Amino acid sequence: MTSKLKTDVLETVSGSGTIALTNQLSGMTSASVPLLTDTQMPAGSVVQVVHTQNQNASHIASTSQSFVASGIQASITPTKVGNRIMVEFISTMATFENSNYIAVRIYVGGNEWLNSNAYQAGFNYMGGSGEKYCNIVFCGELAASNLNAIAIEPYFKCGTSGTVRLVHAASSYSLKLTEIKQ
């Protein structure tokens, strides 16, 4: 059921005047609503978001003791030099065997991301004995130094011997890149 409200005059709460609405909204579309351009947006505004995820992933595993590419990739092209790119990577279930461990680093454009001041180069370390299951979370940011696309990919390695899984079968992962205006 659709309802309609019809009125010729609206009165202010104080009763001091009226508000005329004759055809004020007719013909209004989303195109008639003003949109902010990048230059009009205040600092801290979200400019764009790129997100890749898999809610029911297959194993992403390795026995290598050198860092290998995970195949989980996202790319963002900054709109302005100096804007911040927020990087969030989550693997809900990583596994490693026995006294082994898994090491994870985030690579930018195929090069190891060295941001040791805040995030220890994106390095997460888990160790112990017996089969281990854990999640991996990485949050970091970098400044856009040019307007070229920035490719982000987690790399991982096996600490000692055996198999590590950055992503366990039937679990999920997410890689999200967010450009923030500076």
Q: Please indicate, yes or no, if residue 51 is contained in any of the structural domains.
A: yes
10 Å CB burial of residue 102 (0-12, 13-18, 19+) is buried
Question: Considering its fold, how many domains does the chain have in total?
Answer: 1
Segments in 24-151 forming alpha helices (H): 116-119
Count of other CB atoms within 10 angstroms of residue 8: 8
Q: Please indicate, yes or no, if residue 145 is contained in any of the structural domains.
A: yes
Domain of residue 158 covers 42-180
Note the pLDDT of residue 118: 32
Q: Please indicate, yes or no, if residue 129 is contained in any of the structural domains.
A: yes
Q: Please indicate, yes or no, if residue 15 is contained in any of the structural domains.
A: no
**46-54/124-126 β-pairing:** unpaired
Q: Please indicate, yes or no, if residue 153 is contained in any of the structural domains.
A: yes
The DSSP code for 123 is -
Note the pLDDT of residue 58: 94
Q: Does the CA dihedral 70-72-76-81 come out positive or negative?
A: negative
In CATH, what number is assigned to the domain containing residue 106? 2.60.120.1340
Q: Please indicate, yes or no, if residue 25 is contained in any of the structural domains.
A: no
Q: Please indicate, yes or no, if residue 17 is contained in any of the structural domains.
A: no
Rounded to two decimals, the pTM is 0.73
Helix (H/G/I), strand (E/B), else coil: 32:
helix
Contact assessment for residue 87 and residue 177, using Cβ atoms and an 8 Å cutoff: yes
Partner residues linked to 20 by β-bridges: 9
Low-confidence ranges of the chain (pLDDT < 50): 115-124
Q: Please indicate, yes or no, if residue 19 is contained in any of the structural domains.
A: no
Note the pLDDT of residue 122: 37
